[in-house]
């Protein structure tokens, strides 16, 4: 019966209804989070009707601000795709931060030594090097999980710390890769710079702190589409999603679960590494060199964005945009929203609102309960399967 | 079903004493050997002061092990009842913040010590409701808790302290100091509390009805339910106990060590604590042993620096050591461990 009605329906209409159902809960979650955020702002003694519009203004108020927001979105899209790809295989990769750092450092080291190479070759070489760096760092927890059963949630977090100790040493006071300043390498060669698509500020006025938008943004969108295609239109994607939904069934069906686990984590690390490589090669704010401040908090933030995107690679783009917009609008909000005694609304409110968005979107059961919606059980990836090797 | 559960418990009880005996005689011996080695090592060279160095490394170990011990105890209670708690880090951070905030606002550090565990309970309640009532995947719920706690503490810190330029000094909890020979020894109040709580937790988990029920709920909730145990109640209360202990653990960072709050000051201890819990095979005494090992790694880092000055590569290795050890522990090279059977699985009453 249900099959018959579904197929007799107009496909365009069905697609719309599906999109609405997919979009409905996340949008409702964002709305609820903003409402709770408004209550928090009120309790803190500020006016949400001042705070929210100026947050919006800070993120999208002018061409230069849109430019900034999009530039901040780029690295988030990559790291979010990294989290999503692993998640589809039932792996919770919290290690995007470490993978990004290693990828960025490797691409910087390679980029420094590409002086004589023409840009058409230098850019791909440095980029691929960064991707490989991230892939190797991501494959480690994959292998640990596949061969020793060590839970990736803990190992990736541990590897984040280990990565930051290693990079901290390499670019530290006496580090072998240290450039002119501490915590950075030498600048990469001019030929490995990723060109800028659009730079509002260089058109308007020189010497501002604006971030030009580089080609990484376009690449990020293309990669999102490719990942969607891999996950839903290829045998590899089918195997990955099967492992994610039920590893024992996958094993029974003849899928090499260990192989898929390592591949998924390596690709995940590759995407995070790409994020780091593009920041080094395309973001002038880091002066075209590796900086140890790269990637801070990207691990948990991209998890948040991935949960918001419901682990859909295409949805990762608007979700990353939302997070980047919240962050780039924060300082304007802080500046504009002044309380009775002259104090400003702390920009850290954004971190709270982000957390609330994730609570409501990740745990959509709360929303269904809040808005008295029917509870629907859908196939869910189960992450909590014990911590370590169990025989 | 109930009879099977009782049989199982009896089997565990009879084998436990033997295993514990083995475990607790092996590790103290290893530790003793290690300390003797350090003593001999530090005896060479001019101006050697082996006793002072030895006592300083014991002091450092006990200090660094404190938050990991409390975090691991926190995880033990939660996971024994069948709820994975990856939010320990966030609960600790919340405890660290509320302890420091109350201490700074009232000028009474003791009030901070009392409030902190209850702030941990508050965050744990969110985790409990999400994972027990709403049956959200417990790993996701815990991760959300961590993100939320980071945002909450950062926001409240700016709101209360930064914008008003209030005094952030919460005062510090006292510690006991005395000299062993010429060597100064020091142990903080939170560290002492942690050691006392290990034995309290051991008693509760293995020698009380409450503990038996907690373990039953974590191993086979259906059987426990059939035997008349309220699975939901047990899980809720154990997760709240977990929050209490993690919140207390947070006070180590703010109230014990520095006397103020700093954003993200727990620095991954909650995750190391989880590894300590696994290493300790979900027992309080085992967790303590593991926490001491991690504490020793961190203590060695500080000690080596004060002995040889800052050597960058050596510092990097000793810094990374606890994190590497955590990974090695998880791979099962250091003894297999069996988690509670029902951990991570939401319970649905039929």
- Picking from B135, B140, B330, the nearest residue to A151 by CB comes out as B330
Range of lowest pLDDT (A262-271, A295-304, B148-157, B237-246):
A295-304
Q: Which residues of A touch B330 (CB under 8 A)?
A: 144, 148, 150-151, 154-155, 387-389
Q: Taking CB atoms and an 8 Å limit, are A154 and B274 in contact across chains?
A: yes
Q: Taking CB atoms and an 8 Å limit, are B151 and A348 in contact across chains?
A: yes
Q: Which residues of B touch A303 (CB under 8 A)?
A: 143, 147
Q: With 90 as the cut, is the pLDDT of residue A287 above it?
A: no
Per-residue pLDDT at B213: 94
B278 CB burial (10 A radius; 0-12, 13-18, 19+)? buried
User: Average model confidence (pLDDT) for chain A?
Assistant: 85
Assign A45 to helix, strand or coil: coil
A385 Cα to chain B: minimum distance (Å) = 6
Q: Which residues of B touch A351 (CB under 8 A)?
A: 150-151, 154-155
Domain B2-330, CATH class in plain words: mainly alpha
Per-residue pLDDT at B6: 47
> What is the secondary structure of A193-216 as a DSSP string?
PPPEEE-HHHHH-SS--PPPEETH
Rounded to 5°, angle at Cα A72 from A118 and A102: 60
B302 Cα to chain A: minimum distance (Å) = 15
Q: Taking CB atoms and an 8 Å limit, are A92 and B139 in contact across chains?
A: yes
Residue B194 CB-half CA count within 13 A: 31
Q: Which residues of A touch B155 (CB under 8 A)?
A: 40, 346, 348-349, 351-352
Q: pLDDT, tens digit, for every residue of A91-144?
A: 989 899 999 999 999 999 999 998 888 888 899 999 999 999 999 999 999 999
Q: Taking CB atoms and an 8 Å limit, are B316 and A356 in contact across chains?
A: no
The two most distant CA atoms of chain A are separated, in Å, by 72
Neighbouring-strand partners of residue B185? B178
Residue among A333, A334, A379, A388 with most chain B CBs within 10 A, to mutate: A388
Those residues of chain B that have pLDDT short of 70 are 1-27, 46, 333-337
Residue among B130, B133, B140 with most chain A CBs within 10 A, to mutate: B140
CA dist B319 and B303 (Å) reads 12
Assign B178 to helix, strand or coil: strand
CA dist B303 and B308 (Å) reads 9
CA dist B329 and A143 (Å) reads 15
Q: Are A309 and A295 in contact (CB under 8 A)?
A: no
- DSSP tag of B254: I
A382 Cα to chain B: minimum distance (Å) = 7
Q: Taking CB atoms and an 8 Å limit, are B343 and A384 in contact across chains?
A: yes
Placement of tokens 């050691």 in the chain:
B195
CB atoms within 10 A of CB B39: 14
Neighbouring-strand partners of residue B187? B176
- Which pLDDT band holds residue A5 (cuts at 50, 70, 90)? very low
State percent of chain A over pLDDT 90.
37
- DSSP tag of B346: P
CA dist B243 and B111 (Å) reads 18
A:B CB pairs within 8 Å: 166
- Picking from B130, B148, B331, the nearest residue to A150 by CB comes out as B331
Q: Taking CB atoms and an 8 Å limit, are B151 and A387 in contact across chains?
A: no
Q: What is the pLDDT averaged over residues A265-292?
A: 91
Break chain B into its structural domains and give their ranges: 2-330
Q: Taking CB atoms and an 8 Å limit, are B137 and A354 in contact across chains?
A: no
CA dist A98 and A82 (Å) reads 12
Please, which residues have CB within 8 angstroms of residue B263's CB and are 6 or more apart in sequence?
Answer: B150, B153, B154, B157
Q: Which residues of B touch A151 (CB under 8 A)?
A: 330
CA dist B219 and B343 (Å) reads 8
By residue count, chain B amounts to: 350
Q: With 50 as the cut, is the pLDDT of residue A4 above it?
A: no
Q: Which residues of B touch A169 (CB under 8 A)?
A: 312-313, 315-316
Q: Are A181 and A293 in contact (CB under 8 A)?
A: no
Q: With 60 as the cut, is the pLDDT of residue A390 above it?
A: no
Neighbouring-strand partners of residue A338? A344
Distances (CA, A) of A226 to A79, A118, A223, A232: 15, 28, 5, 10
Q: What is the pLDDT averaged over residues A309-314?
A: 89
Q: Which residues of A touch B148 (CB under 8 A)?
A: 352, 355-356, 358-359
Residue among B331, B333, B341 with most chain A CBs within 10 A, to mutate: B331
Chain B residue nearest residue A349, CA to CA:
B155
- Picking from A150, A363, A382, the nearest residue to B330 by CB comes out as A150
Residue among A301, A355, A371 with most chain B CBs within 10 A, to mutate: A355
CB atoms within 10 A of CB A25: 17
Q: pLDDT, tens digit, for every residue of A131-170?
A: 999 999 999 999 998 888 888 888 998 899 899 999 999 9
What angle do the packed helices A298-308 and A152-170 form, to 10 degrees?
140
Q: Taking CB atoms and an 8 Å limit, are B330 and A175 in contact across chains?
A: no
Q: Taking CB atoms and an 8 Å limit, are B337 and A388 in contact across chains?
A: yes
Per-residue pLDDT at A6: 47
Chain B residue nearest residue A369, CA to CA:
B134
- Picking from A154, A351, A387, the nearest residue to B150 by CB comes out as A351
Chain A residue nearest residue B161, CA to CA:
A346
- Picking from A158, A174, A307, the nearest residue to B140 by CB comes out as A307
B57 CB burial (10 A radius; 0-12, 13-18, 19+)? buried
Q: With 80 as the cut, is the pLDDT of residue A252 above it?
A: yes
Break chain A into its structural domains and give their ranges: 73-328
Structure tokens at A141: 């927890």
Assign B138 to helix, strand or coil: helix
Taking Cα atoms as reference points, which of B337, B280, B264, B254 lies closest to residue B69? B280
The two most distant CA atoms of chain B are separated, in Å, by 73
Taking Cα atoms as reference points, which of A23, A14, A10, A35 lies closest to residue A357? A35
Residue among B272, B327, B347 with most chain A CBs within 10 A, to mutate: B327
Element (H, E) at B176: strand B175-180
- Picking from B140, B278, B327, the nearest residue to A144 by CB comes out as B327
- Picking from A161, A300, A380, the nearest residue to B146 by CB comes out as A300
Per-residue pLDDT at A1: 39
Chain A residue nearest residue B279, CA to CA:
A388
Q: What is the pLDDT averaged over residues A44-65?
A: 87
- Picking from A349, A352, A380, the nearest residue to B137 by CB comes out as A380
CA dist B326 and A156 (Å) reads 11
């Amino acid at each position: 019966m249900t099959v018959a009605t579904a197929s007799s329906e107009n496909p365009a209409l069905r697609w719309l209804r599906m999109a609405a159902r997919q979009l409905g809960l996340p949008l409702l979650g964002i709305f609820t989070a903003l409402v709770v955020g408004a209550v928090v702002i009120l309790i803190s003694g500020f006016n949400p009707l001042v705070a929210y519009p100026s947050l919006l203004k800070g993120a999208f108020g002018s061409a230069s601000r849109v430019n900034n927001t999009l530039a901040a979105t780029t690295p988030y899209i990559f790291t979010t795709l990294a989290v999503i790809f692993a998640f589809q295989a039932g792996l919770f990769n919290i290690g995007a931060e470490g993978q990004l750092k290693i990828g960025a450092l490797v691409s910087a080291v390679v980029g420094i030594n590409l002086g004589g190479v023409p840009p058409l070759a230098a850019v791909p070489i440095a980029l691929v090097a960064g991707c490989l760096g991230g892939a190797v760092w991501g494959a480690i927890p994959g292998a640990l999980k596949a061969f020793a059963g060590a839970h990736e949630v803990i190992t990736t977090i541990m590897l984040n710390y280990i990565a930051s100790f290693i990079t901290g040493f390499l670019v530290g006071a006496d580090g072998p890769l240290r450039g002119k300043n501490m915590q950075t390498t030498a600048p990469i060669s001019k030929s490995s710079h990723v060109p800028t698509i659009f730079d509002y500020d260089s058109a308007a006025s020189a010497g501002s702190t604006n971030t030009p938008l580089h080609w990484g943004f376009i690449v990020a969108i293309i990669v999102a589409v490719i990942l969607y295609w891999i996950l839903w239109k290829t045998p590899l994607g089918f195997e990955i999603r099967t492992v994610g939904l039920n590893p024992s069934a996958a094993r029974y069906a003849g899928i090499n679960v260990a192989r898929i686990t390592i591949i998924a984590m390596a690709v995940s690390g590759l995407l995070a590494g790409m994020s780091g490589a593009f920041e080094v090669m395309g973001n002038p704010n880091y002066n075209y060199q590796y900086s140890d401040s790269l990637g801070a908090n990207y691990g948990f933030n991209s998890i948040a964005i991935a949960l918001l995107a419901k682990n859909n690679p295409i949805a990762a783009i608007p979700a990353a945009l939302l997070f980047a917009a919240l962050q780039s609008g924060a300082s304007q909000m802080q500046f504009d929203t002044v309380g009775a005694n002259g104090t400003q609304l702390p920009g850290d409110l954004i971190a709270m609102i982000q957390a609330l968005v994730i609570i409501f979107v990740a745990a959509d059961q709360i929303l269904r309960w809040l808005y008295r919606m029917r509870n629907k059980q859908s196939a869910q990836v189960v992450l909590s399967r014990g911590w370590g090797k169990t025989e | 079903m109930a009879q099977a559960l009782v049989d199982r418990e009896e089997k565990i009880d009879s084998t436990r004493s033997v295993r514990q005996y083995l475990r607790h005689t092996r590790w103290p011996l290893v530790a003793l050997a290690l300390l003797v080695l350090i003593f001999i090592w530090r005896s060479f060279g001019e101006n050697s002061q082996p006793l002072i160095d030895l006592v300083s490394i014991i002091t450092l170990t006990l200090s660094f092990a404190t938050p990991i011990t409390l975090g691991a105890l926190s995880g033990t209670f939660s996971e024994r009842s069948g709820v994975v708690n990856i939010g320990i880090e966030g609960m600790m951070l919340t405890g660290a913040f509320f302890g420091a905030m109350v201490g700074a606002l009232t000028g009474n550090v003791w009030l901070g010590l009392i409030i902190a565990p209850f702030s941990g309970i508050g965050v744990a309640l969110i985790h409990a409701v999400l994972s027990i009532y709403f049956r959200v995947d417990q790993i996701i719920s815990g991760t959300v808790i961590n993100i939320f706690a980071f945002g909450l503490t950062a926001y409240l810190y700016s709101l209360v302290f930064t914008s008003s330029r209030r005094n952030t000094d919460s005062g510090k909890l006292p510690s006991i100091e005395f000299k062993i020979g010429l060597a100064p020894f020091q142990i903080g109040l939170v560290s002492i509390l942690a050691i006392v709580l290990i034995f309290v937790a051991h008693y509760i988990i293995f020698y009380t009805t409450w503990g038996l029920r907690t373990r039953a709920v974590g191993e086979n909730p259906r059987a426990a339910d059939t035997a008349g145990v309220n699975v939901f109640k047990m899980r809720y209360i154990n997760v709240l106990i977990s929050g209490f202990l993690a919140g207390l653990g947070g006070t180590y960072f703010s109230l014990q060590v520095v006397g103020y709050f700093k954003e993200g000051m727990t620095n991954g201890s909650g995750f190391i604590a989880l590894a300590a819990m696994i290493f300790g095979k979900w027992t309080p005494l085992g967790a303590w042993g593991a926490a001491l090992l991690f504490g020793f790694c961190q203590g060695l880092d500080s000690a080596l620096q004060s002995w040889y000055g800052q050597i960058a590569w050596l510092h990097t290795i000793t810094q990374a050591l606890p994190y590497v050890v955590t990974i090695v522990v998880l791979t099962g090279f250091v003894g297999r461990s069996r988690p509670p059977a029902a951990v991570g699985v939401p319970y649905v009453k039929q």
